[in-house]
């Protein structure tokens, strides 16, 4: 192996800009690091070149551990985005610079630079200065300069980023030819997926300092594992559902889960559908799973094909998380592609001839903070995130006109101070409730941790109840910060809401390794528990066991459900109370007087409310 990186980590300002990156690049390979700006891909390159110092991890070049060598002794060639041709030297002198440092006689240097000038197509221009060359020509010179002393590793940092499209295409070809001809091992950093596909032997996708996936372009396109790679490369629709009885469930559609991507029962599951995998028409092809019947809402002609967007009505248990739906959209928008000459009726059946179930995502939690105080919800969310092994986003709500960057910086400092540097910081300005709802609809979250108050001061902070009323995300009302969540009380009713609360609460309990008590409150005057209640509880316990959770069921007689729940919460000393919530029309009919709200109002501990359509 030419280049071996092992657990390479670079911390900057309390954040891991390069996070445990391990990678092997073979001899003569052209490897492309692909990522958006700020992902840390360039830092990886600088670490390899020795221009930055890693905090931990090792770098091996051709079997030699160079981790502690200065840049000068690593013998790599480096091409910068801004060319950095030495202005006071001629082109030839620039190319000969590395050879001059190695005390190569001038005749030999001359020969080498002439050779390279021919190779990059600038023969005879050796006497020019950088100011007399175009950007593309300068970058060719930079390439020749980095290759002159025959380094075995060539590193290119967005080399074509500053050039226009046509010259970029030419230069890519030149680079590929030269790299092949000289058999030099190269790593190229870019944010341009087209460039990556065109040049790379293999691609590594980097996001937030992590090397997410490595593979050929085809592999990454067809079989991505992560949500980021799935959406970063190519187009498509990503749906979010839950894992039920070993299958991925998206509303009415269930799909098998590939054996190489183990999923937790009850946990979230995502599927990627590329536009070309969507089959449209009347009825569905045999054996093709059907997503539903929808209407064509958008058509875009693009030559041989037409890109379509099909809207499917809202379904419980199915959420679209990519592309981000317009605010207020509750249905699912699926991207499809058809030949241009095909006409379609307005309403079509949507079936799938292919799909890719993605690796199970980490739980994602959201918490908001007014200003930069270290509030109870933030502390609770931080603790919970750590315990469930998920990721946390802290949303700062800045009043209109306030300095967003300053707020971001302050929150970040606060997080670093409290040992929660891994969290994402987002800052939005505007009305708090609207901003939280916008955030929830733009990025997917498994759980929103709210202030414990039911009707918060809206100018300061959106109350959890608002999010609950208008969104589909489970809301945790934080009241106090437990050292650990060891015992969870799930108050289950019978029927629709009684399923999602058990599944979600159970999944959380599994992650937290907490005990669960399933509680059903029966009326005092009833002679005995009806059989269907027992059946429901039994199913619930079975579900819990399938999730690997230690769980029991209890029927507690009381005059009202509220009374029973309060009594159990008191005697059982549970750290968290989980309660379901009707969805759809039922919710609006009962308003804020149903059991859920009664419990929220009367109880003094943290409550997790799970909407039935979560």
Determine contact, residues 244/201, Cβ cutoff 8 Å: no
Span of 46-54, 240-248, 397-405, 505-513 interacting with other proteins by CB under 8 A:
46-54
The verdict on 37 binding other proteins (CB under 8 A) reads: no
Contact 116, 142 (CB under 8 A): no
Count residues binding other proteins (CB under 8 A).
29
Report the residue number, 51 or 290, with the smaller CB distance to other proteins. Answer: 51
Instruction: Give kind and range of the element (H or E) at residue 110.
Output: helix 106-119
Asked if 522 touches other proteins (CB under 8 A), the answer is: no
Least distance between other proteins and beta carbon 209 (Å): 21
Q: Which residues lie below 8 Å from residue 525, measured CB to CB, with a gap of 6+?
A: none
Q: Which of 331, 275, 282 has the alpha carbon at shortest distance from 308? A: 275
Alpha helix locations (H) across 513-553? 531-546
76 binds other proteins (CB under 8 A): yes
Near other proteins by CB under 8 A: residue from 26, 70, 430, 584: 70
102 binds other proteins (CB under 8 A): yes
Q: Of 87 and 287, which CB lies nearer to other proteins in the complex structure? A: 87
- H/E element, 205: strand 202-207
Which residue stretch of 49-57, 313-321, 369-377, 392-400 sits at the interface with other proteins (rule: CB under 8 A)?
49-57
Residue 159 backbone zone (phi > 0: left; psi -120 to 50: alpha; other: beta)? alpha
Q: Which stretch binds other proteins (CB under 8 A): 24-32, 75-83, 481-489, 496-504?
A: 75-83
- The gap from C-alpha 24 to its chain's centroid, in whole angstroms, comes to 24
CB of 177 to other proteins, least distance (A): 23
- E strand segments, 101-194: 153-157, 185-190
Strand 237-244 to 268-273 pairing: antiparallel
Cβ-based neighbours of 172, under 8 Å, separated by 6 or more:
160, 195, 198, 199
Which one among 35, 40, 50, 236 touches other proteins, defined by CB under 8 A? 50
* Closest to 23 (Cα-Cα) out of 5, 49, 45: 5
The residue (of 88 and 287) whose beta carbon lies closer to other proteins is: 88
Torsion of CA 355, 357, 361, 365, to 10 degrees: 50
Closest by CA to 202, choosing from 224, 221, 217, is: 217
DSSP, collapsed to helix, strand or coil, labels residue 518 as strand
Closest separation in Å from C-beta 28 to other proteins: 20
What single string gives the DSSP state of each residue in 43-84? Answer: HHHHHHHTSS--SEEEEEETTEE-TTS-GGGT-EEEE-TT--
8, 57 in Cβ contact below 8 A?
yes
Residue 75 binds other proteins, judged by CB under 8 A: yes
Residue from 89, 296, 316, 429 touching other proteins (CB under 8 A): that is 89
CB-CB neighbours of 284 under 10 Å: 17
**Which of these ranges, 47-55, 170-178, 535-543, 590-598, lies near other proteins under the rule CB under 8 A?**
47-55
Q: Does 51 bind other proteins (CB under 8 A)?
A: yes
Q: Which of 88, 166, 287, 483 binds other proteins (CB under 8 A)?
A: 88
- Taking the complex as a whole, the smallest distance from the CB of residue 83 to other proteins amounts, in Å, to 9
Question: Which of 87, 166, 287, 483 is the binder for other proteins (CB under 8 A)?
Answer: 87
Q: Pick the closer one to other proteins by CB: 96 or 466.
A: 96
- The three-point CA angle 591-592-598 to 5° equals 140
Q: Enumerate residues 114-173 that contact other proteins by CB under 8 A.
A: 131, 142, 145-146, 149, 155
Question: Which residue among 10, 15, 74, 274 contacts other proteins (CB under 8 A)?
Answer: 74
Tokens linked to 494: 């019978």
Instruction: Give whichever of 129 and 374 is closer to other proteins, judged by the CB atom.
Output: 129
Which residue's CB is nearer to other proteins, number 83 or number 227?
83
Residue 101 binding other proteins, by CB under 8 A: yes
Among 97, 261, 422, 424, binds other proteins (CB under 8 A): 97
Q: Going by C-beta distance under 8 Å and a sequence separation of 6 or more, which residues neighbour residue 218?
A: none
CA distance 435 to 318: 23
Closer to other proteins by CB, 25 or 491: give it. Answer: 25
Told to check if 49 binds other proteins by CB under 8 A, we report yes
Name the minimum Å distance from CB 175 to other proteins: 17
Q: Nearer to other proteins by C-beta: 40 or 50?
A: 50
Piece of 85-93, 108-116, 160-168, 426-434 that binds other proteins (CB under 8 A): 85-93
Choose between 131 and 571: whose C-beta lies nearer to other proteins. 131
Residues at the interface with other proteins (CB under 8 A): 49-51, 70-78, 80, 82, 84, 86-89, 97-98, 101-102, 131, 142, 145-146, 149, 155
């Amino acid at each position: 192996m030419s280049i071996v990186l092992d657990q390479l980590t670079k911390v900057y300002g309390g954040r891991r800009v390069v996070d445990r990156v391990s990678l092997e690049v073979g001899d003569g390979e052209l490897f492309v690091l692909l990522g958006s700006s700020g992902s840390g891909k360039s830092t990886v390159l600088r670490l390899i070149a020795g221009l930055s110092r890693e905090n931990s991890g090792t770098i091996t070049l051709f079997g030699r551990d160079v981790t502690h060598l200065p840049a000068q002794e690593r013998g790599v060639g480096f091409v910068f985005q801004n060319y950095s041709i030495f202005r006071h030297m001629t082109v030839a002198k620039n190319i000969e610079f590395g050879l001059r440092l190695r005390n190569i006689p001038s005749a030999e240097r001359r020969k080498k630079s002439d050779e390279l000038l021919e190779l990059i197509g600038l023969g005879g221009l050796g006497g020019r200065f950088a100011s007399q060359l175009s950007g593309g020509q300068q970058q060719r010179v930079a390439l020749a300069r980095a290759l002159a002393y025959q380094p075995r590793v060539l590193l290119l940092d967005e080399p074509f980023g500053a050039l226009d499209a046509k010259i970029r295409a030419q230069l890519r070809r030149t680079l590929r030819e030269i790299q092949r001809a000289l058999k030099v091992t190269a790593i190229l950093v870019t944010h341009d997926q087209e460039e990556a596909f065109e040049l790379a032997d293999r691609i590594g996708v980097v996001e937030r300092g992590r090397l997410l996936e490595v593979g050929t372009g085809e592999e990454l396109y067809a079989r991505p594992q992560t949500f980021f790679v799935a959406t970063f490369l190519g187009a498509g629709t990503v749906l979010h559902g839950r894992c039920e009885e070993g299958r991925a469930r998206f509303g009415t559609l269930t799909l098998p889960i590939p054996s190489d991507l183990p999923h937790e029962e009850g946990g979230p599951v995502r599927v990627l559908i590329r536009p070309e995998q969507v089959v449209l028409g009347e009825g569905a092809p045999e054996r093709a799973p059907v997503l539903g019947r929808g209407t064509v809402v958008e058509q875009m002609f693009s030559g041989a094909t037409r890109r379509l967007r099909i809207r499917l009505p809202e379904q419980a248990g199915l959420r679209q998380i990519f592309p981000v739906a317009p605010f207020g959209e509750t249905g699912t928008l699926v991207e499809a592609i058809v030949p241009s000459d095909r006409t379609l009726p307005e309403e079509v059946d949507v079936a799938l001839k292919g799909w890719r179930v993605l690796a199970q995502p980490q739980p994602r939690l959201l918490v908001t903070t007014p200003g930069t105080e270290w509030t109870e919800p933030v502390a609770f969310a931080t603790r919970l995130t750590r315990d469930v092994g998920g990721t946390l986003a802290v949303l700062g709500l800045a009043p209109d006109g306030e300095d967003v960057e300053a707020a971001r910086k302050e929150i970040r400092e606060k997080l670093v101070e409290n040992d929660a540097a891994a969290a994402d910081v987002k800052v939005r300005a505007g009305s708090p409730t609207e901003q939280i709802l916008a955030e929830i609809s733009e990025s997917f979250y498994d759980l929103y941790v709210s202030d414990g108050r039911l009707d918060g001061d809206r100018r300061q902070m959106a109350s959890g109840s608002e999010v609950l009323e208008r969104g589909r995300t489970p809301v945790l009302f934080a009241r106090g910060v437990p050292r650990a969540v060891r015992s969870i009380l799930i108050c289950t009713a019978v029927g629709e809401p009684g399923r999602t609360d058990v599944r979600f609460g159970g999944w959380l309990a599994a992650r937290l390794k907490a005990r669960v008590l399933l509680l059903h409150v029966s009326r005092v005057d009833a002679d005995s528990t009806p059989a269907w209640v027992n059946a429901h509880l039994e199913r619930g316990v079975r579900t819990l066991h399938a999730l690997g959770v230690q769980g029991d069921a209890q029927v507690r007689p009381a005059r009202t459900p509220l009374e029973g729940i309060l009594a159990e919460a008191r005697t059982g000393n549970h750290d968290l109370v989980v309660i379901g919530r009707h969805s759809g029309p039922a919710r609006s009919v009962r308003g804020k007087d149903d059991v859920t709200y009664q419990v929220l109002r009367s109880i003094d501990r943290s409550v997790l409310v799970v909407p039935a359509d979560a």
